[in-house]
Structures are given as structure tokens and as C-alpha cells.
Chain A
């Protein structure tokens, strides 16, 4: 099952991955990280992630690793 791993501490919470995920697998998180921002989280309840990597490609902070 494809999945992504998000480095919570690197994430600045810009949300571009949320915007561009074609399967809506990523959402804005509810808890703050060490930077005081809300990092995004992988929330793929319906196992919809295809490993397309759009999220990692648009991420300005290289926070996302993609597994397939």
C-alpha cells in the first residue's frame, strides 16, 4: 500500500501538499511542532494514496518521503 512519511519538525505548514494531493490524503495537523507551526499529517483512511509524489514534488521544505 503506497504511503508517505512527513518529517513533522521540518514542516512549516504551508499546506501546498494538502492543496495538490489528488486523493485528499493529507490534512492540516492539529498539534504544533517545535517551530510552533501546525505540520500537515498523512490521513489516508480510505487507502487512496497512489504514491504519485505530487505532495513531495511541491513541498518547498523537502519534508516528505514517498513509498510505493
Chain B
């Protein structure tokens, strides 16, 4: 009998600190699978954000640093420009990328930095205790939108892939999800492409991953994945927004 599925080599044995049913563990793993498959572990430099994924370096078995809140794309720019041979990727949550770090994100994308950004969107702030994220959907209750997100008070959910895909420096923007095995496989394909693009010198690639946060959605893991399928992915439609290849 042959082992057909096991932990990727680029992933450490450490048990994650994530809550049961949290999507971060899946995204961490598929990034490691992609790094193994592309044979780039010894060239990769990952950048962890501020947010739940700040401890990603405890789970990834390659060089990793940690940026100040929102500054991942700027740090990635510095690393990649100094040595373009390194494969540099940033891992960011919705607060890190789409709130405090919006300027860094938009400008790294607009400069066409040859980096990969994995954007984990779970529509809520996890680490600080379930507050509204820029991607919280209308009427969604969080600890700072107790009556639900109201557009007059809190504005609209921010659509990152749609926003970034209009920038000429962006080569690739795709929104995927990890709420079912089939979606995880598609997400992995997109992440693999975003790394391959960087290897091929295609400029900025971003993959937005819809990911369950059962704890702060106030749902069981089962209901959380169902919520992504039936509600969240209607606000954030899955699919490829841009794939221009090399310019």
C-alpha cells in the first residue's frame, strides 16, 4: 500500500494555534505543497502578517520574516529587489492587506513588483476578537458591528481582486476558496500559478482565498463552510479576474 497523502516537507510538525475549522491551516499547507512541487524551498522567503497568521513561521520550514501591520508588500519589495533570485511571497489577512496596508498593497501591485501575495479573506478580524474587517459583508454581525454592518456607518465590503485587477502592474488576480475539498484543489492550482508567475517574471500576482473563521462568524465549522458557499461567495464571486502573463 502506498501513501498518497501526507504532510508536505516544507511544513513543520508543529500543531497550529488556529481554532478548529479555521482555514489558515489549509492555506498554510497548500502553500507548502506548492513550494515542494516547484522545488523552491531553498529560494523562498515568506513574510508573515500581523493578525492570526503572525505565527506562520512556526509552521513553515523555510526562511520567514514578519512585517509590521500592513507592510508586507513593502518588505517584500525590499527583499525581492535586493535579490530577484529569491521567491518572495507575502501572506496577509483582510485587516493587514485591505485596511491598514491598503497603500502598500496598491502601490506594490501598481509598480508591478514581481512578488506573490496570498490574501486570506475571512470577513472578520480573528486575532483581536472578532471586529469588523474591511471585507465584512453588509448586515454581518461582528463585535464592532453588533447590529450588522451598515453601509451608512461602515461603508461597503472591499473587493480586493476587483480593485487590483485594473492596475497594469498586476499580472494575475484570482479569487478562490477553501470551503470544500474541490475548492481547496482549485485554490492550490491558483497559488501554484501565482508562484510560477513569479518564477517566470510576470510581475505582481495575488490570490484571494475565502477562508472560514468559525469562531468569529459564531458558527460551527460545518455552518461556516456552508456560509462561504451560500453567502460570502455571492458577495465575493470566485474566479480569475486577470491573467495577462508577461508584459
Interface residues of A (CB under 8 A from B): 2-3, 9-10, 12-16, 19-20, 37, 51, 53-62, 64-68
Which chain B residue shows the least CB distance to A18? Answer: B222
**A68:B181 contact, CB within 8 angstroms:** no
B214 CB → nearest A CB, Å: 8
For the complex, give the distance between the alpha carbons of A16 and B220 in Å: 10
Question: In whole angstroms, how far apart are the Cα atoms of A19 and B225 in the complex?
Answer: 10
Q: Are the CB atoms of B25 and A15 closer together than 8 Å?
A: no
In angstroms, Cα B5 to Cα A56, docked, is 7
The contact of B7 among A51, A58, A62, by CB within 8 Å, is: A62
Least CB distance, B211 to chain A, in whole angstroms: 9
Contact B25 A62 (CB under 8 A): yes
Q: Which residues of B contact A57 (CB under 8 A)?
A: 5, 181, 184-185
The verdict on B21 contacting chain A, using a C-beta distance below 8 Å, is yes
Which chain A residues lie closer than 8 Å to B1 at the CB level? 2-3, 67-68
A-B pairs, top 8 by smallest CB distance, nearest first, are A60-B25, A14-B21, A66-B5, A12-B20, A14-B20, A54-B181, A14-B221, A56-B5
Asked if A61 and B3 make an inter-chain contact with CB atoms under 8 angstroms apart, the answer reads: no
A68: shortest Cβ distance to chain B, in Å? 5
Expressed in whole angstroms, the minimum distance between the Cβ of A6 and any Cβ of chain B is 12
B225 surroundings in chain A (CB, below 8 A): 16, 19
Residues of A within 8 A of B152 (CB): none
Residue of B nearest to A17 (CB): B181
**B222 contacts A16, CB within 8 Å?**
yes
Closest to B226 in A: A19
**A26 CB to nearest B CB, Å:** 13
Least distance between A23 CB and chain B CB atoms (Å): 13
A-B contact pairs, 15 of them (CB 8 A): A2-B1, A10-B15, A13-B20, A14-B20, A16-B221, A57-B5, A59-B26, A60-B16, A60-B18, A60-B24, A60-B26, A61-B16, A62-B29, A66-B5, A67-B4
Given A12-B20, A13-B20, A58 and B26 touching (CB < 8 A)?
Answer: yes
Q: Is B72 an interface residue, CB under 8 A from the partner?
A: no
